[in-house]
Amino acid sequence: MTQTVGKNQDRISRRQVDKFAERRAQLAASALRTLSELGYSRTSLREIAQNSEFSHGVLHYYFRDKVELITYCVRQYKAECVTRYDQIVVTAGSAEEVREGFAEAMAGTLRDDAAMHRLWYDLRNQSLFEEAFRGDVLAIDQSLERMIWRIVSLFAELAGSPPAVSSSMAYALFDGLFQQALLRHLSGRESAAADLKTSVAQLMDQLVAAV
């Protein structure tokens, strides 16, 4: 009897945890719209509440402060980004498919998710000044670096030649290309996404010793 009661309590506890996590995810999705439009410094929990269906008190119940909410939002979004690129690793059958798939994916996310990427770079810049952000930013950075390296490693393997750079260098190069393209895109340059696609494809070839 005691064992049955214990199992029931465990199930109830798990449901409560699942509901809490689900609610946090809903709040984060709603908050992302305001955060991506206004950026970190111009957004408060009260402002987020005013632009969503949730009250200020509800936000405070699920997130202790703006820092926790923003890092949760960006972590969630970047985790989704990583899974999109991993599809290239799963489906590509040649070096050319890896190169073209990755270049198109980078250009596509620039066109479709510019506001979210702007928020990520805003958060990363803030981490230089606010220690509270650094752990989360480093963790996100590392996950993105691993994602890039999976792409580069597969490309090198299918091309029959080893990578000519380290994992951190490959990430820095692609990240730099993307950030520059994002600035151009936000400035209204219509060719920003197409230019990024071309640059990514060219860089892929240069990162492998001999294609």
> Domains of the chain (ranges plus CATH)?
1-63 (1.10.10), 65-211 (1.10.357.10)
7 vs 124: which has the higher pLDDT: 124
Q: What is the mean pLDDT of residues 14-35?
A: 76
Mean of pLDDT over the chain = 85
Q: What count of other Cβ atoms lies within 10 Å of the Cβ of residue 150?
A: 16
**Residue 2 above 70 pLDDT?**
no
137 vs 56: which has the higher pLDDT: 137
State the Cα torsion 117-144-169-112 to the nearest 10°. Answer: -30
Distance between CA 152 and CA 97 in Å, rounded? 12
4 vs 127: which has the higher pLDDT: 127
- Please give the pLDDT value at position 12: 53
Answer whether 76's CB lies under 8 Å from 28's CB: yes
47 vs 107: which has the higher pLDDT: 107
13-17, 90-94, 164-168 — most confident range: 164-168
**Residue 7 above 60 pLDDT?**
no
Say what the pTM is: 0.79
24 vs 202: which has the higher pLDDT: 202
Total residue length of the chain:
211
pLDDT tens-digit series, residues 173-194 = 999 999 999 999 999 999 999 9
